[in-house]
Amino acid sequence: MDVFRFVKRAMKSNDPTRRYMLVTGDGTRAGDIEVIPPAHGTVRLDVVLRPVLSDAAREDALNTTRRFLDELAGGWGVQLDEESGASGLEEQPDGNFRVQIEYRAI
């Protein structure tokens, strides 16, 4: 059982990006997720995790997010193949950790 859940945020008009808050089991906001749905054959995932998570929890959050994205893609009727982007989280100057990954929709 995952200790994270995804809370959908409001969409902006004329913007297909889907935004979610990543929340821990106790309700702590652990990060933000943006998914740009299939356009021109690619899906982009942008994950920003807050420094409240340990190294192991960040990896778990990233793996949970990838599984969540696979479920979203299934709803769109596509499968995803990781195409480019860093596979690991990089620390940002503000203390957050970020990764951007592009997937090919097949």
- Show the domain range for 96: 4-105
Kindly report the pTM of this predicted structure: 0.86
The number of distinct structural domains making up the chain is 1
Average pLDDT for 71-76: 89
Three-state secondary structure call for residue 99: strand
Residue 92 CA to residue 23 CA, distance in Å, equals 20
39 vs 101, more confident = 101
pLDDT of 47 above 70? yes
Farthest-apart Cα atoms in the chain, separation:
38
Three-state secondary structure call for residue 41: coil
Indicate the pLDDT class of residue 31, thresholds 50, 70 and 90. very high
pLDDT of 85 above 60? no
Q: What is the pLDDT of residue 1?
A: 42
Residue 14 CA to residue 12 CA, distance in Å, equals 6
Nearest to 62, CA basis, from 27, 104, 33, 93: 33
